[in-house]
Structure 1
Amino acid sequence: MTHPGPISLVSIVLVLLLSPASSETSALQDLISRNADFGARLYRVLAARTDENVLLCPFTLSAALTVLLSATNGQTREQLQAGLTLTRLDAQTLPGGFKVKGHQILVVVQVLSGAPVVQVASSYLNLVQTKLGGTVQGVDYTNAYEAINTINHWALEQTVDQVQDFISEVDHQTQLLLFLCVSASFTPPFNASSTQDERFYVDSYHVVMVPMMFRADKYLLAYDIHFALWPIEGSKRRKYECSSVCAHTFLLCTDLCEE
């Protein structure tokens, strides 16, 4: 399907934590619900700020920030937990809930003269390695060439040479960078024979041809409703409001309520 003119697209990639029904626990279900809430709130904030194209994967953000959460305390931890909707959960056990197949993490810390500037606690290092299968590597960020090559080489390995020149510059004052790579697949998978190049409208002035996947099926679809209030002058003693709920089907429902 093609569009006759430029469009603004907000695309969401929601990768949910899924587990076989037989092994689901209330704790995991609670984490799934919290992560979905975080993703929805983040989407609303981004959608309110821009009409440009946005690719959003709340799961990767949650997983990456949870790694940092495990190394914090005090107000920093409280703020991260509130932002991620993870209040009152144990920060030390959270990373295990975000571990999925194809999930790789790299923590790159600043190292000068063979000694790390950022001291990584052994307990945190063990958490990254055992709970997330991640690695901690030291580089000299003042040597931009070395730092960029180290990070880009890791990206090439994780994506099987699909992502090249992942970063092109680094700030020499950087102390720590966190990288997360998640390889996910669609279920059911897309049929490669149904993929064809179509126009993608980057903005009002730029159009590019990109491979698009087509599949005909029945899908669940939902829209946000619009709620509006109009004051209605009745008698001198009463005031009314007309509440109108306008759904996507343009069905109008009204209700008169006394103030």
Structure 2
Amino acid sequence: MRSLLLPLLLVLALVCPWSRSLLPPLLPLLLVLALVWSRSQSLLCPSGFCSCRSCCSWPWSLLLLVLPLVPVSVSEVSALSLRSLLLPLLLVLLLVLPLVLVSVSKVSALSLRFLLLPLLLVLALVSAPAAPAGLPLVPVSVLVSVLVSVLVSVSKVSALSLRSLLLPLLLVSTPAAPAAPAGPGPSLPLVPVSVLVSVPEVSALSLRSLLLPLLLVLLLVCPWSRAQSLPGPEVLDCSRRWSDFGIRLFRAASSQSDQNLVLSPSGAALSLSSVLERSAGTGREQLQRLLGTAEPVSGLRAAVGEASMGGVAWFVAQGAEPDDAYRKSLEQDFGADVRAVDFGSRPDALDSIQRWVLEQTQDRVTIRDLELGADPQLLLTSALSLQARFSVPFNASLTAPERFFVDRYRTVMVPMMTTSGRFFLAYDRTLKTGILRLGLDRGRAALLLLPDDGVHLSGLEEALSHEQISVWTRALRKTRLEVQLPRFALEQSSVLRNSLQRLQVTQVFADNSLSQVLNAAVLIVDETAAQGGVASTFKTAPPRLTVNRPFLLAVVHEATGALQLIGRIVDPTGK
């Protein structure tokens, strides 16, 4: 209901300073709200919004044609001063920017026309030719209505939400600027904005009447738009390098075992980037070839969220601590916790490392098989614990034991969770793999990669790359689906020295500037839901996707493409 009241409040705030009669403009608006509310329980369409274009587009087309045609007399508007032009322009900017951002974030296959339509809408509102005095602005209103109707009914719109439709309505109902007193000088063209109120007898705008609409627009519209600053090219390049590095590291680690595996690529890359200044020569070149420079790291941490990157710690031998300036840089740019330990007393050193890992993983990960070498100088440690919070939650009452086929000869019983909703799905015919996107909180998503029955995970792991994930993401299409996913928890620590040496990172270990790299990761998948997450119900049962065989799961920060966790789940009953 709140999403219906906000436009009403906004229109009221825009109308009140300029009109002495509210009833005429409110009548068509109430008609709009009544129809929207009457259809909102089914999201305007029995099969979901914009999945059935023929029945979704006509009511909006009709309403958007009727609404702007409220009789408005413009005969008393002679010319517009610069001051009276500013408010409509500001309102258009404030309204159309969230529209573009919402559309970008919710439409799976964004083409050029999705960007052109809002632009055409603005041009129709602010750049049309002036209307003669006394002539209603019917042609421009019709043009605006048709453009919005096209935006609604355009093909391949898979997930255009109700709120992104309300924004064009707000644009159509933006009040016209009041008339300026007649005077000498060139007259400016009229702004042909479809208005809900008449503008006679308005002589000037007070500061209060300017501030209230702007404040309401900022308060009401901005929460819809996900108006986060877009990451720069340096940050995106850093994210791409780290993701590729993480996938190569995952492949190197997975080649040593065919069991469950979970790594935090962003944590490993963050910890290794922190030693770039400490290393030199060939060792530095080898790290930079994989990770790039360290300059964009702080920007990437800010874009992803420092808490989402996990923790990093330096366990450095006593007497080899970094100087104060370097230590400050480690703490500020990398969030590193620098601790001096006595590696001469191995039990005490291992105990210190174990306590830090337990603290970062909520007492879930125990270190095993940690080799420090003969004369350790620096142990890099990273840790990330992630509780999956799904935007389409799993219903705990539907969780039931089901079979999971570990391989051709072994089957285990797992708690199988169930939910239904509209999910993004794709299929790679070359790799014979299905790709399912599961929305998470904090701007993240889980990409579940499920090979066909009889297809081994090793082929899929070899094909993994940042570019391949991008290809899969662009191929996703929204569909109704019932998803069955095993409940599991992966809790592991991985010693990465051997895996890094397979990636040609050798010199930093050879000159003993780095002794060992430890990565601790926790991935918990259960019925925990994101705040406000809602599952869907359908009149007819949707197709079912049952994840009952080994699969890969990658957690990605969508705005930057940063790969936060990647896991191989062979047996959900194991850790």
* TM-score bracket relative to the smaller structure: 0.5 to 0.7
Cα contact 1:66–1:95 (8 A) shared by 2: no
Provide the C-alpha distance between the structure 2 equivalents of 1:210 and 1:175, rounded to a whole number of angstroms: 44
Matched residue, 1:225: 430
For the pair 1:161 / 2:161, whether they are aligned, the reply is: no
Matched residue, 1:149: 351
Provide the C-alpha distance between the structure 1 equivalents of 2:383 and 2:351, rounded to a whole number of angstroms: 17
User: Relative to 1, partners in 2 of residues 1:49 and 1:204: Cα closer, same or farther, differing over 3 Å?
Assistant: farther
Which structure 2 residues correspond to residues 55-66 of structure 1 after superposition, within 5 A? 55-66=262-273
Cα contact 2:241–2:290 (8 A) shared by 1: no
User: Relative to 1, partners in 2 of residues 1:91 and 1:224: Cα closer, same or farther, differing over 3 Å?
Assistant: farther
TM superposition shift of 1:223: 3.2
For the pair 1:67 / 2:279, whether they are aligned, the reply is: no
Q: Alpha-carbon deviations, 1:143-196, whole Å to 9, x = none?
A: 122112211221222223233x33465545322111112233435355472666
Matched residue, 1:97: 300
Provide the C-alpha distance between the structure 1 equivalents of 2:272 and 2:323, rounded to a whole number of angstroms: 17
Q: Alpha-carbon deviations, 1:183-223, whole Å to 9, x = none?
A: 33435355472666667777888877766655445333343
3-state SS of paired residue (2:381) = strand
For the pair 1:77 / 2:284, whether they are aligned, the reply is: yes
User: Relative to 1, partners in 2 of residues 1:173 and 1:49: Cα closer, same or farther, differing over 3 Å?
Assistant: closer
332, 336, 340: which one aligns with 1:134: 336
TM-score between both structures, scaled by the size of structure 2: 0.30
Q: Which is worse superposed, 179-188 or 136-145?
A: 179-188
User: Relative to 1, partners in 2 of residues 1:221 and 1:211: Cα closer, same or farther, differing over 3 Å?
Assistant: same
State the AA in 2 paired with 1:123: A
Provide the C-alpha distance between the structure 2 equivalents of 1:81 and 1:221, rounded to a whole number of angstroms: 34
Q: Alpha-carbon deviations, 1:29-65, whole Å to 9, x = none?
A: 2222333333444455566676544324322221121
User: Relative to 1, partners in 2 of residues 1:77 and 1:130: Cα closer, same or farther, differing over 3 Å?
Assistant: same
Matched residue, 2:315: 108
TM superposition shift of 1:137: 0.9
Matched residue, 1:35: 242
Matched residue, 1:15: none
TM-score between both structures, scaled by the size of structure 1: 0.59
Cα contact 1:195–1:211 (8 A) shared by 2: yes
3-state SS of paired residue (2:390) = coil
Provide the C-alpha distance between the structure 2 equivalents of 1:20 and 1:105, rounded to a whole number of angstroms: 29
State the AA in 1 paired with 2:229: S
Provide the C-alpha distance between the structure 1 equivalents of 2:375 and 2:407, rounded to a whole number of angstroms: 34
User: Relative to 1, partners in 2 of residues 1:56 and 1:150: Cα closer, same or farther, differing over 3 Å?
Assistant: closer
Provide the C-alpha distance between the structure 1 equivalents of 2:426 and 2:280, rounded to a whole number of angstroms: 41
State the AA in 1 paired with 2:333: K
TM superposition shift of 1:126: 1.3
Root mean square deviation of aligned Cα: 3.7
User: Relative to 1, partners in 2 of residues 1:32 and 1:83: Cα closer, same or farther, differing over 3 Å?
Assistant: closer
Provide the C-alpha distance between the structure 2 equivalents of 1:199 and 1:56, rounded to a whole number of angstroms: 26
Cα contact 2:395–2:418 (8 A) shared by 1: no
Provide the C-alpha distance between the structure 2 equivalents of 1:224 and 1:76, rounded to a whole number of angstroms: 41
Provide the C-alpha distance between the structure 2 equivalents of 1:223 and 1:21, rounded to a whole number of angstroms: 32
Kindly indicate whether structure 1 or structure 2 has the higher relative contact order, using CA contacts under 8 Å at least 6 residues apart: 2
TM superposition shift of 1:127: 1.5
3-state SS of paired residue (1:166) = coil
Cα contact 1:140–1:146 (8 A) shared by 2: yes
Unaligned runs of 5+ residues in structure 2 are 1-225, 432-451, 453-575
Provide the C-alpha distance between the structure 2 equivalents of 1:175 and 1:192, rounded to a whole number of angstroms: 50
TM superposition shift of 1:136: 0.9
Identity rate, percent? 29
Matched residue, 2:382: 180
Cα contact 2:239–2:300 (8 A) shared by 1: no
User: Relative to 1, partners in 2 of residues 1:180 and 1:57: Cα closer, same or farther, differing over 3 Å?
Assistant: closer
Q: Which is worse superposed, 173-182 or 33-42?
A: 33-42
Provide the C-alpha distance between the structure 1 equivalents of 2:410 and 2:350, rounded to a whole number of angstroms: 30
Provide the C-alpha distance between the structure 2 equivalents of 1:211 and 1:67, rounded to a whole number of angstroms: 41
Q: Which is worse superposed, 127-136 or 212-221?
A: 212-221
The structure where strand makes up a greater share of residues is 1
Matched residue, 2:261: 54
TM superposition shift of 1:67: 1.5
Provide the C-alpha distance between the structure 2 equivalents of 1:177 and 1:200, rounded to a whole number of angstroms: 38
User: Relative to 1, partners in 2 of residues 1:132 and 1:44: Cα closer, same or farther, differing over 3 Å?
Assistant: closer
User: Relative to 1, partners in 2 of residues 1:138 and 1:83: Cα closer, same or farther, differing over 3 Å?
Assistant: same
User: Relative to 1, partners in 2 of residues 1:143 and 1:185: Cα closer, same or farther, differing over 3 Å?
Assistant: same
User: Relative to 1, partners in 2 of residues 1:42 and 1:177: Cα closer, same or farther, differing over 3 Å?
Assistant: closer
Unaligned runs of 5+ residues in structure 1 are 1-18, 227-247, 249-259
Which structure 2 residues correspond to residues 238-257 of structure 1 after superposition, within 5 A? none
User: Relative to 1, partners in 2 of residues 1:45 and 1:140: Cα closer, same or farther, differing over 3 Å?
Assistant: closer
State the AA in 2 paired with 1:97: L
3-state SS of paired residue (1:177) = strand
Which structure 2 residues correspond to residues 205-224 of structure 1 after superposition, within 5 A? 214-217=418-421, 218-223=423-428
Flag the structure with larger Rg: 2
Provide the C-alpha distance between the structure 1 equivalents of 2:385 and 2:227, rounded to a whole number of angstroms: 19
